[in-house]
Amino acid sequence: MNALEFKKTMDIIQKQDEWRNNCINLIASENVQSRKVRAIAGCDFTHRYAEGHPGERYYKGTNYIDEIESRLKSVLKDLFACAHTEVRPISGTNANEAIFSKFVKKEDIVMANSTPGGGHISHHRMGSLGKFTKNIIDFPISKDGYHMDIEKTKDLIRSIKPKLIVLGKSLFLFPEPIKELFDICEEYQIKIIYDAAHVLGLIAGKQFQDPLGDGALLVTGSTHKTYFGSQRGLILSNMENDEWRKVDRGAFPGSSSNHHLGTLAQMALSTCEFVEYGEQYAKDIVTNAKALAVALENQGFSVEAKEFGYTESHQVAVNVKNMGGGSLVSTLLENNDIILNMNMLPHEPLKNHMNPEGLRIGVAEMTRFGMKEPEMEKIAELMKECIVDKKNVKDEVNSFRANYQEVQYSFDNRD
């Protein structure tokens, strides 16, 4: 029985690999690793433990992972121009929790982006931040819904005097107003935390904004979205050493024990690729996102934020309320092997979360498979044929995707 279940599970894994290789994946929070990086997923580090810092481990037998972790941190400091890096969090939310656990107390007031305004669940009462305080206040947003209302935010800061503010979003089209808020935050000694989960690769590739340079105290991030590493998290800062020790303790033993050494090794390799190719990759992502937004608009879709150029990130937001809503449209597309997610749009009531008006589309993965502006136009055509013309385009999607199987911006073809 166990052997049969093993075989069935292996079959499911193989089906997943075959299916997703035939799909156009537009999930904004996903990406792929290069062939060489994926190949070490079963290396010996996958089986091992390492608690503490390199050279100060609680376990023996860590000499090689100590070297990899130390080298990775050094490369990341150069890549992000920062004094401190913490690579032990095993996810972006895990990185957030390491910070919240040390800088947020029960009665503290924290400001963050609302869920309809693009905020991530880890910044809210049901998520990681909610474990430490329930006094979470949404930033006022502008009429367009994709920008913060700066003056109202400043007035609110003067009134409630939050302990810290959390910037960064899940629906993240445009840079955050760090510079605009820096002076008032400094005046009231408010810490600025910037969650770069979605845009970490764009920041590393110098195509978005420089949150630390603009005045953020701490930057957290996921390492598998626009940054094409393994699924992990990290924390960056230029803060003083005494303050950084809080972050250190928040990461270990605060929010993690062993920090998944196999994916850490993959992260080190992916970072080498990003140093080599990341700037061009980030440029191509933004170019593709803009091209897809224009192409979708030309195909009759209602693309959000047109007056601001649609997007400055890897994401495109589309209102499909008049096409049946986000749940129906995303399901129809999935049935035709175009994978993306439904998403709430600004100003929608929270009750809409199971059938929101919008779609969130991301181009990071398809860009890494070598797609450019002409391919973005083709994707828009396929989506229109599926949703507007009610055609079954699955075979056409599979045939189109078959031409894009090799990961680019990688060392796969180097000795």
- Summarised one tens digit per residue, pLDDT across range 98-117 is 999 999 999 999 999 998 88
Q: Sort 378 into a burial class: Cβ within 10 Å, 0-12 / 13-18 / 19+.
A: middle
CB within 8 A of 321, min separation 6: which ones? Answer: 357, 358
Domain 38-270 has CATH 3.40.640.10: yes
Summarize the confidence of residues 22-51 as an average pLDDT. Answer: 96
Cβ distance 223 to 76 under 8 Å?
no
| The pLDDT value given to residue 296 | 98
CB atoms within 10 A of CB 346: 21
pLDDT over threshold 80, residue 367: yes
Per-residue pLDDT tens digits for 182-224: 999 999 999 999 999 999 999 999 999 999 999 999 999 999 9
Summarize the confidence of residues 256-276 as an average pLDDT. Answer: 95
Biggest CA–CA distance in the chain, Å, is 66
Identify the residue with better confidence: 256 or 60.
60
Among residues of the chain, what percentage have pLDDT more than 70?
100
pLDDT over threshold 80, residue 350: no
Summarize the confidence of residues 380-402 as an average pLDDT. Answer: 98
| The pLDDT value given to residue 125 | 78
Per-residue pLDDT tens digits for 48-97: 999 989 999 989 999 999 999 999 999 999 999 999 999 999 999 999 99
What is the pTM (predicted TM-score) of this model?
Answer: 0.96
**Torsion angle of alpha carbons 372, 376, 381, 387, nearest 10°?**
150
Query: Looking at 24-66, which runs of residues are DSSP E strands?
Result: 24-25
| The pLDDT value given to residue 281 | 98
List beta partners, residue 84: 237
pLDDT-derived band at 1 (thresholds 50, 70, 90) equals low
Q: Which two tokens stand for residue 241?
A: 């050493």
